[in-house]
Copies of this chain bind each other. A is one copy, B any other.
Amino acid sequence: MRLHDQGDTVLKVVALAGGVGGAKLVDGLAAVVPAENLTVVVNTGDDFEHLGLSISPDLDTVMYTLAGVANPETGWGRADETWAFIETLETLGGPTWFRLGDRDLALHMERTRRLRQGETLSEVTADLCVALDIHVRLLPMSDDPIRTIVDTNEGKLAFQEYFVARACEPVVRSFEFHGAESAAPAPEVIEAMEEADLVIYCPSNPWVSLDPILAVPGMRKAVQARPTIGVSPIIGGKAIKGPAAKMYAELGVEPSALAVAQHYPELDAFVIDAADAVWMESIRALGLQPFVTNTVMDSDAARKRLAQEVLEFVGELELAL
- Give every chain B residue within 8 A of A53 (Cβ-Cβ): 52
Q: Across the interface, do A106 and B93 meet the contact criterion of CB distance under 8 Å?
A: no
User: Min CB distance, A138 to chain B, in Å?
Assistant: 15
Pick from B81, B95, B109, B128: contact of A51, CB under 8 Å: B109
Q: Across the interface, do A89 and B102 meet the contact criterion of CB distance under 8 Å?
A: no
Select the stretch in A34-42, A110-118, A252-260, A273-281 that faces chain B.
A110-118
Pick from B81, B85, B101, B116: contact of A106, CB under 8 Å: B85
A127 interface residue, CB < 8 Å from B?
yes
CB nearest neighbor in B for A82: B84
Given contacts A88-B103, A113-B52, contact A127 B82 (CB under 8 A): no
User: Min CB distance, A164 to chain B, in Å?
Assistant: 17
Q: Across the interface, do B113 and A85 meet the contact criterion of CB distance under 8 Å?
A: no
A92 interface residue, CB < 8 Å from B?
yes
Q: Across the interface, do A102 and B84 meet the contact criterion of CB distance under 8 Å?
A: yes
- Give every chain B residue within 8 A of A101 (Cβ-Cβ): 84
The number of residues on chain A lying at the interface, defined by a beta carbon within 8 Å of a beta carbon of chain B, is: 31
User: Min CB distance, A105 to chain B, in Å?
Assistant: 5
Pick from B91, B107, B109, B113: contact of A131, CB under 8 Å: B91
A146 interface residue, CB < 8 Å from B?
no
CB nearest neighbor in B for A69: B88
Q: Across the interface, do A92 and B112 meet the contact criterion of CB distance under 8 Å?
A: no
A94 interface residue, CB < 8 Å from B?
yes
Question: 8 pairs across A/B with beta carbons < 8 Å?
Answer: A81-B84, A85-B105, A88-B105, A89-B106, A92-B110, A92-B132, A93-B127, A95-B113
12 further A-B pairs in the complex, CB-CB below 8 A; given A85-B103, A85-B105: A51-B109, A51-B112, A52-B52, A52-B112, A84-B84, A84-B106, A88-B105, A89-B106, A89-B109, A91-B131, A92-B107, A105-B105
